[in-house]
Structure 1
C-alpha cells in the first residue's frame, strides 16, 4: 500500500510541476513595432499612405495591408486578390509574405489585403521601403512600391 501512495504522490507532484511550467512558459514571440505606415505608388491605380500591421507566433508571421488612399477599381469578392508583399531584410535579401486573404470590397472602397503569411527568424529586421506589394485581381497585376522607408521603422521579430 505504501508503494501505491508513493507512486500516486510522485504523479501528482509531476503534474503540479507541469502545470507550473505552463503558467510560467514564455508567451508567443512579438514583433516590434506591430504597426507601421508607408507611402506607396501603385502607378495608374493610385497611391498614398498605407498601414501595415504585423503579428508573430514563433517563426510564423503575418502582415495585413490597409489603405484608404488606394481603392478597389471594381467590386471584389472576399479572398479574390492574390498578393505578395516583399520586404527588404537588414543585411541583405528579401522576405515575402503571400496569400489570398481580403474582405469583399465595393468599387472605390479602401483596399485591404491580408493577413499575408510569411516565415521569419529571430532577429529578422524587415523594411517595406525598397520592397513591393504585388496584387493580382481578375488577371490584372498591380504593383505598388514604397516611396520611402516605413515609419516608425522596420519590423523586428523576436
Structure 2
C-alpha cells in the first residue's frame, strides 16, 4: 500500500501543477486583434499601372504589420527577396497620417505583381487606419501609388 500512496501523491501534485498552469493561461491578456484582418484598395501608380491591392494587417500590442500584394505594379524582371523598400501611408483616425515601412518581400518573378511586407508601424488601441498611398523602391526606381478607392470593407481598427 505504501507504493500506491506515493504514486497517488505524484499524480495529485502533477494535477495541481496542471490546474495552476491552466489558470495562469486563462488569466493571461488576450492577444489583440485588428479588424478586418484583410482589406482591398485600388491604386493608380502612374506610368507603372493601376490595380487592386490586398492588405493584410496583424497586431501585437502597439506593434502592427501590414503586408500587401498589388496588381498595380508588375515586375519586368526577377526581383530577389528583401530587395523592395516600401512605405504605406494611411490616414489615422480620419485626420492625421501614419506610415508603415519595411524592406521585406518574397522573391518576385518577372511579370508578377509586387508583394511587400511585413511593413512595420505603431498603433494605439482604437486607431482606425485607411491606406491612402504607397511608395515602392526597387533597384533605385520609385513607383508612387495613390489610392483611388476607399479601403474595403473599411479601415483597419486596432
Shorter chain as denominator, the TM-score bin is 0.7 to 0.9
2:52 to 49, 52, 58: 49
Ranges in structure 1 where 5+ consecutive residues have no aligned partner = 1-12
Paired residue for 1:101? 104
* TM-score, normalised via structure 1 length: 0.83
Q: Decide which structure has the larger Cα Rg and report it.
A: 2
Count of paired positions: 144
Q: 1:114 aligns with which of 112, 117, 127?
A: 117
Unaligned stretches of 5+ residues in structure 2 = 1-15
Cα deviation 1:106-144 (Å, max 9, x = unaligned): 22111100011111000000011xx21111111111111
CA distance in 2, matches of 1:123, 1:62: 16
CA RMSD of aligned residues (A): 1.9
Whole-Å Cα distance in 2 between the matches of residues 91 and 110 of structure 1? 30
CA distance in 1, matches of 2:151, 2:116: 18
* TM-score of the aligned structures, taking structure 2 as reference length: 0.83
Deviation at 1:92, TM superposition (A): 1.9
